[in-house]
Structure 1
Amino acid sequence: MLSGLHFIDGTWVSSDTQLDAPDSPLAGVHQVSDVQIGAAARAARAAFRPYSSTKTQDRATFLEAIAEEIDVRGDQITEAAVAESGLPQARLVGERGRTTGQLRMFANLILSESYPETRHDPALPDRQPLARPDLRLTHIPLGPVVVFGASNFPLAFSTAGGDTASALAAGCPVIVKGHPAHPATAELVAKAIEAAIARCGMPKATFQMVHGAANEVGASLVQHPEITAVGFTGSLGAGRALFNLCAARPVPIPFFGELGSINPVFCLPGAVASRGAAIGAAWVGSLTMGAGQFCTNPGVLIGVTSAGFDAVQTSVATALTMAAPQKMLTDRICETYRDTVEGMSNKLEVLGVGTGEGGIRMGRPVAFKTDAATWLATPDLHHEIFGAAGMVVACDDADQMVAVAEALEGQLTATLQLDMPTDREAALALLPALRERAGRILCNGYPTGVEVASAMTHGGPYPAATDSRTTSVGTMAINRWLRPISYQDFPSELLPES
């Protein structure tokens, strides 16, 4: 039975205030109170030492158990997620597999010889003029972590998603702030984690979840003195506000926010001359995937004016005429998307638009066209549009294309469409700026679809993320919840296992 309750210290609890849950199997959800937030934070702190002291084998077994419990509830979870998010069943089945895959990936990581990173400088008692002590470095968990569920990934970036999986693997208790767009999905996944806690004998407050729609809920969570780190995937405005609150605390804490990107695609002359039409069609396919609601949505396509780039644009316009409106995640997201598109239509030429009329919560794809001089002079055009709206930017020459690259803010990704060896020099001219601005650079691909792997970086310079040194996808994500500690001249029987 679904309840809309909070899961605090091993118990499902109610609140005095309830909120509507449109498009959800739930009739409503409870609004968490400050008292309940305090209780959850203190419970997480009490659970930290016993949970962080568990053997890595036991934590790995726990992560595997969460994955198994999610699989047991798979059909019910998918059904709820389809109803709440509007995403197609096949996409959510795949996302559920990605979620359980991440849990198993971190289970394997913490059992590997490479985890945690350790270093040893043996003592040099005879060194002159001073002896060197014995130094051993390892990494330990930070403490209780708050994770904010993401609207566009109700599974892989939410309740048991990558932030939660990596924090639990590190030995940190987690409090999830469930996203109001998919509370039933969150509750079902939370019940899977509850079952795994019971199976594995973990502390009751190893995982907790609260609901709430107001900004004050997020503020109360990240400012509570027992919270030691925060993981967030969402909008720049909300993420920056929470980041500022974390930094303003009497004891500041790390805030790891992935805040989106326009993910530029640079089309180099040799590539557009040989396959311009294919590039345009493939870009539209990536742009419209998932109603454009991916953080890696390729929002800007850039090339030098030429017959080949004309073919790219013709292909974009043609492909859009076959792109139907798609259901968006929430009414508010759809309304914001439509308002933004209407505003852009008053400023820029429309290159192509999707077929059919958009109904309730349906977003119609569109592409705009502008020249590089206008784009460079208009900072408002440099911002992400959350939805299937893209922009084609025509440059006068290769130097102007480099100027566009230099004007970019931090990005999750940047892409080069190129043919070698024709485009070698043009690519080399762009790469210095792109390396400084992107967490991932693609060659002859499209950024939608993030491989969950050890070598993946899903982050980038601000505003793509709040810390460009780390990632929210891949095994390196665990480093967000660890800190180094050195032991000097310690007896071996007092050292941690690692």
Structure 2
Amino acid sequence: MTTTTAELDRIVADAAAAAHVWRTSDAPTRAGWLRAIADALDANRGELVEIADRETRLGATRLTGEVGRTTGQLRLFASVVEEGSYLELTVDDADPAATPPRPELRRLLVGVGPVAVFSASNFPFAFSVCGGDTASALAAGNPVIVKAHSGHPELSRRTAEVAIAALTDAGAPAGSLALVEGREAGNALVQHPVVQAAGFTGSLSGGRALFDLASGRPDPIPFYGELGSVNPVVITPAAVVARGDALADGLVGSFTLGVGQFCTKPGVVFVPDGAGFEDAVATRVAAASGGPLLTDRITDAFPGGIETLLGDPSVQVAAHGAETHDGARPVVLTTDAEAVAARPEVLLEEVFGPVTLLVRYGSDADLHAALAAVPGSLTATLHAEEGDAVDETLELLQARAGRVLFAGWPTGVAVTWSQQHGGPWPATTSLHTSVGASAIRRFLRPVTFQDAPAHLLPAPLRDESLASLPHRRNGTLRVP
């Protein structure tokens, strides 16, 4: 099913008409709309999970948990709206004695207008129709038009039906949420003059094409894309000695989780040469199972990605996982830090699926030269012991990722106020996050009112509202 040009124009017109209502809605109303979507998804969880499993083969257990994550983040953003600090309310009182005299200035953030959201294949709920991009854009006060992912079209339609009905019943205006289908419709959506921002999770090639369309408009708009990430991991010799078996267990569990289709999969792991960690991983991966990948396109691309890596003379197969008749078989590859530093464009290319590349290093100098070649990633992980001298290593990892871990593995993203899910290019097209409370900042813009009559100010900037909202006045932070 493909959305026609006429249908897209109608959908965008409805979103434009709803934009003012969303932008000027008060906190209790907007939070109520978000919670209405969450309640409706929870109420229809069984039906939605059944459809999702049929289309994605991710399994009922995983998908049920993902619905919970999706409704949880909708409720998180409802609380963000009610708490109010996301508005960044700021007041400078007039000061005629200043040089030059200072007018009264009042500043806040407001919704940008209708937002386009592009669904992801690997999270059919949490990064799809009612996922984090949609939740944060709605919370910011914007209608949302979602481009459905071709990997789960029936689920996308049914999820949209449930959410739109919930919004209607809760009193939200028509045009608050809509769905379009087809690549042409997606391209047209990001170029439509009514659309003011876009969020995307997917491949580097697809995201870059849309990014260029958004930037090439007569009126360019921000495009917040989450694209590719190898998520480097560094394990020190002391960490291998202290807990090598546990680290090998954790790595195998992490890179095979979800058949290696998490954007936070540890794809490149730097390990000390001669410490025995490669053998520990190889022993454990032999029993690890793979499975079907999400789409035919991903399935077809996986062996090609492995072959590209094996085409480098430094790369060898350390071990394969268990045989599988219906999908991708896990594989561990090895190389060395010198090769990575010399040919990062080959060895540091993300491969979507159950594969990880172990990179041997013999010295800190070798490690740091290779780390300097690692592209931007969503995460970076450092497994070290208390006595390790890791300052330079940590500095390199921090420069390349938005989230730095010191325990555990990166597959697993808590939806919280302090989460950062974004990093330098090509992990994302910006320095913002697509997960956590700060994701709302992508779909807001600042407006300052100078010497405005009180009755013409937006309600949150009036003194009676400021009394109960976090704000800064004359440089002093005030929290009710």
| TM-score interval, normalised by the smaller of the two chains | over 0.9
Match of 1:165 in 2: 135
Deviations for 1:57-102, whole angstroms, at most 9, x for unmatched residues?
1111111110111111110000011111110111111100000001
Report SS of the residue matched to 2:75: helix
Match of 1:281 among 233, 249, 259: 249
Match of 1:339 in 2: 304
Report SS of the residue matched to 2:117: strand
Shift, 1:113, TM fit: 4.0
Query: Where do 1:267-346 residues align within 5 Å?
Result: 267-307=235-275, 310=276, 312-346=277-311
Match of 1:261 in 2: 229
Match of 2:429 among 466, 474, 477: 466
Is the CA contact (8 Å cut-off) linking 1:146 and 1:231 kept in structure 2?
yes
**Separation in 2 of the partners of 1:495 and 1:249?**
32
Number of residue equivalences? 457
**Separation in 2 of the partners of 1:444 and 1:170?**
33
Calculate the TM-score normalised by the size of structure 1: 0.90
Match of 2:144 among 163, 174, 184: 174
Match of 1:43 in 2: 14
**Separation in 2 of the partners of 1:401 and 1:409?**
15
Match of 1:8 in 2: none
Shift, 1:278, TM fit: 2.0
**Separation in 2 of the partners of 1:189 and 1:455?**
28
Match of 2:323 among 346, 349, 356: 356
Match of 2:165 in 1: 195
Match of 1:482 in 2: 444
Where does structure 2 lack aligned partners over 5 or more consecutive residues? 461-480
The percentage of counterpart residues that share the same residue type is 44
Match of 2:459 in 1: 497
Q: Which amino acid letter does the alignment assign opposite residue 189 of structure 1?
A: T
Is 1:386 aligned with 2:357?
Answer: no
Calculate the TM-score normalised by the size of structure 2: 0.93
Deviations for 1:183-217, whole angstroms, at most 9, x for unmatched residues?
121122111212212211211101010111x3x32
Is the CA contact (8 Å cut-off) linking 2:273 and 2:360 kept in structure 1?
yes
Is 1:238 aligned with 2:206?
Answer: yes
Match of 2:368 among 393, 402, 408: 402
**Separation in 2 of the partners of 1:464 and 1:113?**
29
Match of 2:476 in 1: none
Is the CA contact (8 Å cut-off) linking 1:277 and 1:314 kept in structure 2?
no
**Separation in 2 of the partners of 1:294 and 1:242?**
22
Shift, 1:370, TM fit: 0.6
Relative to structure 1, the CA distance from residue 367 to residue 52 in structure 2 (aligned partners, 3 Å threshold; closer, same or farther) is same
Is the CA contact (8 Å cut-off) linking 2:214 and 2:223 kept in structure 1?
yes
Aligned-CA RMSD value? 1.2
Is the CA contact (8 Å cut-off) linking 1:260 and 1:463 kept in structure 2?
yes
**Separation in 2 of the partners of 1:339 and 1:432?**
34
Q: Which amino acid letter does the alignment assign opposite residue 289 of structure 1?
A: L
Deviations for 1:378-426, whole angstroms, at most 9, x for unmatched residues?
2211111101111000012111111111111111000001111x21x1x
Match of 1:97 among 55, 68, 91: 68
Match of 2:472 in 1: none
**Separation in 2 of the partners of 1:172 and 1:184?**
25
Match of 1:456 in 2: 419
Is the CA contact (8 Å cut-off) linking 1:120 and 1:136 kept in structure 2?
yes
**Separation in 2 of the partners of 1:327 and 1:304?**
33
Deviations for 1:314-369, whole angstroms, at most 9, x for unmatched residues?
1110111001121211122111112222343444210111111342xx11110101
Query: Where do 1:3-42 residues align within 5 Å?
Result: 30-42=1-13
Shift, 1:35, TM fit: 2.1
Q: Which amino acid letter does the alignment assign opposite residue 3 of structure 2?
A: V
**Separation in 2 of the partners of 1:79 and 1:357?**
24
**Separation in 2 of the partners of 1:396 and 1:158?**
43
Q: Which amino acid letter does the alignment assign opposite residue 279 of structure 2?
A: T
Q: Which amino acid letter does the alignment assign opposite residue 445 of structure 2?
A: R
**Separation in 1 of the partners of 2:139 and 2:421?**
19
Shift, 1:242, TM fit: 0.5
Q: Which amino acid letter does the alignment assign opposite residue 171 of structure 1?
A: G
Of 142-151 and 48-57, the range deviating more from structure 2: 48-57
**Separation in 2 of the partners of 1:497 and 1:306?**
65
Is the CA contact (8 Å cut-off) linking 2:256 and 2:290 kept in structure 1?
no
**Separation in 2 of the partners of 1:274 and 1:50?**
58
